[in-house]
Structure 1
């Protein structure tokens, strides 16, 4: 996170990772206030065993791109909605990276999907995680079908 004020946005990502049993770490590493520490964090991430980085930032949202510039690990950016521009500036900053510095962008405040994307990336080399993802998808499919059935029962018959 660029700031501890990002926590409420990031929390759903952490919940998803925890629900799949994915080891994770959460830190404040501001691209603007602690640039040297942020770059060192990115450079050392793979050595610490990280396989993917999820970064949340608002406004100029430089954190995901700067992390991606200093590591070969996949980086997922969570654009954060702020009072001005409702997060559109953050989304565009994360999505419009120059060639050679890719960052995957999820929806504004889309931390849960960032967590799921991280799990999918990790699942490409972890069979147990891939199976857990399949179970998750099966469950959300069943939940959606059940919601449709409830709706159909509430509707008047034609």
Structure 2
């Protein structure tokens, strides 16, 4: 049973999906993955979304980046759009964030499959105490690293002549 479904607009988006997969694996979150095009295979997109038991969808798309919005049109479950960088970077980003009223799509930064997966885990953690605890531990570890880095920089600065 997949909790997250990653749908890419093309095979070339797989390096971005790998970032998401790494995060999902870290938290032990099950996922499915597929390639489907909003323009070339709209029926496939509909069938994948309608037939899925996923709780959250991650959609990776570039250029016109219609895929996240099309996925959102077939479900009331959360959809997270990841704009893929390319020759026209802002087109994908703007397409994902400009959804019509009633069909929202969350958006993360360019190529940030890792942040999309983290956001998906946060959504799942609303009803999964174990995931919520893992997220809290990771946040504490991030804060500790910043403190350690700050102490290092302060010490190094004192050595500068």
Query: For the superposition of Structure 1 and Structure 2, which TM-score range results when normalised by the shorter chain?
Result: over 0.9
- The structure carrying a bigger strand percent of its residues is 2
* 1:153 equivalent among 148, 152, 155: 155
Aligned partners of 2:73, 2:142: CA distance in 1, in Å?
Answer: 35
Structure 1 residue 21: Cα displacement: 0.3
Aligned partners of 2:107, 2:82: CA distance in 1, in Å?
Answer: 6
Secondary structure of residue in 2 paired with 1:26: strand
Aligned partners of 1:96, 1:137: CA distance in 2, in Å?
Answer: 30
Partner residue, 1:100? 102
Name the TM-score, length of structure 2 as normaliser.
0.91
* 1:60 equivalent among 64, 72, 92: 64
Give RMSD over aligned pairs.
1.2
Structure 1 residue 157: Cα displacement: 6.2
Aligned partners of 2:22, 2:72: CA distance in 1, in Å?
Answer: 23
Q: Deviations over 1:90-117 (max 9, x none)?
A: 0100000000111000011111110100
Aligned partners of 1:28, 1:154: CA distance in 2, in Å?
Answer: 48
Partner residue, 2:85? 81
Aligned partners of 1:25, 1:145: CA distance in 2, in Å?
Answer: 37
Q: Mind listing any 5+ residue stretches in structure 2 that lack a counterpart?
A: 1-7
Structure 1 residue 4: Cα displacement: 0.8
Alignment of 1:6-25 (within 5 A): 6-25=13-32
Aligned partners of 2:150, 2:37: CA distance in 1, in Å?
Answer: 44
Q: Mind listing any 5+ residue stretches in structure 1 that lack a counterpart?
A: none
Q: Deviations over 1:128-152 (max 9, x none)?
A: 0000100111111111111111111
Name the TM-score, length of structure 1 as normaliser.
0.93
Give yes or no for the alignment of 1:127 onto 2:129: yes
Structure 1 residue 156: Cα displacement: 2.9
> How many correspondences in the alignment?
153
